[in-house]
Structures are given as C-alpha cells and as structure tokens.
Chain A
Amino acid sequence: MTQGTQSIHRETFVLNLGPQHPATHGVLRIKLTMDGEYIEDAEPVIGYGHRMQEKMGENRSYAKYLPNTARLDYVAAMFNTHGYVCAVERLAGIAVPERAEFIRVITAELNRVASHLLWVGAFLVDLGGFTPLLYTFDDREQILDLLEATTGARLTFCYYRFGGVCNDIDDDFVAGTRKFIAHLRSRMPMYHAFITKNIIFRKRCEEIAVISAETCRKFGATGPVIRGSGVAYDVRKLEPYSVYPRFNFNVPVYPEGDCMARYRVRMDEIEESLRILEQALDQLPGGPVMAEKVPRILKPAKGDCYFNVESARGTFGVRLVSDGTDKAYRLKLRSPCFSNLSLFQECSRGLLLPDALALLGSLDLVIPDIDR
C-alpha cells in the first residue's frame, strides 16, 4: 500500500445519528465516527429529554409524585409505578390486600405484552419492514382498550396507589383479558411465520451485534438484553415480589447474544406473560383492593430502602430515603434503558452502520427513561 492510499483509508468522518428536533419526543443523538460504512466510535449524547424526575420526587409529597412515575418509561408505565409504590409501601410498612396484588400483576403483565408488541413493530421498522407494525399495533390497541376501561388512560395509567389500586377490575375486564389471551395465542404462529422465519429478517439479525454475557455484566445491562446473552437474570424469579412466586412461568434464555436472540427472548416472554395472566385470572381472589387506614398524607418513618421490579426492558429500581417528613429526602431511579444504552459504544465498534441500527433497535430503548 502506498503512502497516499493509506492516508485516504484512514480518513474518518463524523455522522450525527438520530432526531434532535425540540418538538420530537424521544431525542437521542449518537455521534458516530465512521470509517466508510464501518463504525469506529459511537458516542451517545443524552440529556435532551432530562426533566429532573428524581428532584421532582424530592420536592413534592409521595402521593403527588405518582403521576410522574408513568412518564419515565411511557411504553411500560405500570412497572415504574409498581416499583415506586412498592418502595413507599416497604418504607411505610403498608400491607397490600391480596386481590390488589393480583390486579397489579395482571395489569403489569398486560403492559409487558403491549410493550413487547410495540417493540417488535418498531424494531422491524428500524430494519426497513413496515407492515408488521400495523399487525402488532392492532393487537396492542386491544390491550390499551382493556387498560383504558380500567384505569382511565391509555399510556400514563397512574393506576396503583400506596396500599392497592385505585379502581377494582370488573367482569368485562376479566372476560376481555381471557378473550385477548386466546386471540394473541392464535396470532403468534402468524408472527413466527412472517417475522421469525422471514429470510431478510434472519439475515439482518442472526450473528449480528453479538453481546457477551461479560459485557452485559460490565455495563449493568438487564432484561431481555442479558437474557439474550445466556444469563437467566429475572427479578421476578431471583428476588420475587408481589405474588409472582405463586405462578408457574419460565424465564426465556438464549445464549447466542445476537439480535435474533434478543428478539426470541421477547417473543417467548409474550407467551410466558400470557401464561401468568391466565393463572392470575384463574386464582383471582375476592376482597378489597385498597388497604385500610392508609393515611392521606404519608409520613414514613426515617429509613432507607431499595426496591426493584422486572420491567419490560430490564430491572427498574427505586431507592428512597425518608427523613420522616411528607417528602422523600432522596429518590434515585435506576432505569434499565440507561444501562442498556451504555454498552452501545463498546459493542458497535467495527459494525456496519445498518447493523448498528439493528443493535440499537434490539436494545429496546425508551429515551425519556434514559434521561429521566
């Protein structure tokens, strides 16, 4: 190689990836240093959607912070509220009635299915296939209709309260959920036939952007990302909360670590969630949905607690420090998307640009959850 061609070969350029308009939601900028079509370095630039959610939790009362929790990860809002109310309940020593715990599990699992369905559609749009989005949205809308009839909102549910849930579910909801379980089960073979077995999809995903279990541990990646790298890490099994220990379900694990493995984990999780839903509806007990004597102005005793839940994207953790007043002294939110994005810089080195987009899509990022 002559001197001239060598210097041409080394020339790199910077490519800004992602929407950065103030009016768009979910603004993530990635500064790519490109060597032709290959990525030399990728630096995620975050913070465009930072809303000081943690600080807001420290300057308002516990109950007033509840609506905020639905606005962290708005695709799977139930889990954030679940983590927060459980942390406060642990601090304040509030016992939740059994029926309320069941309703929480049912609504949270419905939300997980909705979130994964949205991800499948959006991931395929990232890869260049538009049609599946319409099918997954059709199914997701049915879940949102069920949840809207119960909670009153389609995305920002704000349904859980300290000591239970604000509305009881009715027979229509139970019947509708059962009908939906049967419907989605009948649709799954169709998804597998035209997505999982599709040759273009497989060529874009198999053995692309392999993430090792070690890398996942290094960056704290959780959820389907680490389970797609062969580690059976699921908070519902390892640190069981709510009534999850009563249900029989598997944690899907695929050891390959590529985009296909992460896709398969999520598709299997939809089916496992349907199993949990079915069991929860069968075992649903009667009784109240709110604990008795929960004070309107909550003043938990001095203390420090951490509570994590398995969100649709990974481990969502809440650390609460109380100083005995009606406001939290410190609120720390551990969001799964932030940790999952962190490994992008290391894993995208040397990838082709379209493959890096497949990696970015397979991480299932919700940007307001990264920035908080």
Chain B
Amino acid sequence: MWNYLKEIWLGTYSLMVGMWITLRLTFHRPVTVQYPYQTLKLPARFRGHVQLPLDANGKPKCVACMACARACPSNCITMEGHKPEGATRRELSKYTLDFTTCSLCGLCVESCNFDALEFSKDYNLASLDKGDYVMDLLKPAGKEQPK
C-alpha cells in the first residue's frame, strides 16, 4: 500500500517536472524560421548545382578539358569545346548539366584546375516539368532556370 502511494506520488511529480519544463520553454524565443517569409543565410561552402563563373571579359573560364565530366559519378555533365582561330585556348561551345541525376557531391568542382566551376546558391528548384532540370549552363545570365 505504501509503495503504491509512493509510486503515484513519484509519478505525478515526474509528470509535473515535464510540464514545468514545457511551460518554461513556452516563453523562450522561437527557434524556427518562418520560411518562405524569412530565409537563412547559406554558408559559403553550400553545395548547390554547379554554374560557370565568368572572367573579366564576361566569358566562362572553362577550357573544355572534360575533367569535370570524367569525375562525375553519375555522368550528368555533357560538354563540347572548340578552338577559335587565332585563340590560345579552347572555348566552350556547349555545357549541359542533367540535374535529374546529379547527387550534389561536388567532385566536379574539386576536379577543376581552372576555377571554372562553382556551386550555385540557388535552391528554389521545384518544377513540374522534367525538362527544366536539363540545364544549359552557357545560357546568358539573368535567365533564371529552371522556372
């Protein structure tokens, strides 16, 4: 009988401790962020999909050496290059990223010897059209894709 009453008392006490902690934390500052009205700052090393940074002349730094396409585990990079007459280095003529198979591992950026690839900070990539994810990275900047 004594043990039974003791157990009821200890049980009630332990529940009250839990309720007290909940009550105390109710008045704390919220830890959640009200997305999409508020967003967090992305860290500098955030691994989004890749993009081609431009040099001072507004051209991609890429020399079409194919190192990124070879490093990709899921073969999602297709690229073509050409050498314009009189030029000293090759230039890109096509660079397509098939984002449906990309696993955002970053091995392509690591393999690049020319700093010609970087991670984008774009993460709003929801779309109803699968075609939006086959990205032409050579498209002039300003045209956001996919929509």
Q: Which residues of A contact B (CB under 8 A)?
A: 60, 63-68, 131, 135, 138, 141, 148-153, 156, 158, 166-167, 190, 193-194, 197-200, 296
Q: Known: A67-B107, A153-B104, A199-B10. Is A193-B43 also a contact (CB below 8 A)?
A: no
Name the residue on A nearest B67 (C-beta).
Answer: A296
| B21 with A66: CB separation less than 8 A | no
Q: Which of A63, A141, A150, A167 contacts B71 (CB 8 A)?
A: A63
| A193 with B21: CB separation less than 8 A | yes
Q: Known: A151-B45, A167-B45. Is A194-B21 also a contact (CB below 8 A)?
A: yes
Q: Which of A148, A156, A199 contacts B43 (CB 8 A)?
A: A148
| A190 with B21: CB separation less than 8 A | yes
In angstroms, Cα B77 to Cα A146, docked, is 30
Which B residues touch A60, using CB under 8 A? Answer: 73
Size band of the B side of the interface?
A: 20 to 34
Whether a CB of chain A sits under 8 angstroms from the CB of B4 is: no
In angstroms, Cα B40 to Cα A149, docked, is 13
| A166 with B73: CB separation less than 8 A | no
Q: Which residues of B contact A (CB under 8 A)?
A: 7, 10-11, 14-15, 17-18, 21-22, 25, 31, 43-47, 71-73, 103-107, 110-111, 119
| B22 with A131: CB separation less than 8 A | yes
CB distance from B30 to the nearest CB of A (A): 10
Q: Known: A138-B31, A197-B17. Is A152-B106 also a contact (CB below 8 A)?
A: yes
Name the residue on A nearest B40 (C-beta).
Answer: A145
In angstroms, Cα B73 to Cα A156, docked, is 15
Q: Known: A63-B107, A67-B103, A67-B105. Is A193-B45 also a contact (CB below 8 A)?
A: no
CB distance from B101 to the nearest CB of A (A): 12
Q: Which 10 A-B pairs have the closest CB atoms?
A: A67-B105, A199-B11, A64-B73, A152-B47, A149-B43, A194-B18, A152-B45, A199-B14, A194-B21, A138-B31
| A64 with B107: CB separation less than 8 A | yes
Which A residues touch B104, using CB under 8 A? Answer: 153, 156
| A198 with B43: CB separation less than 8 A | no
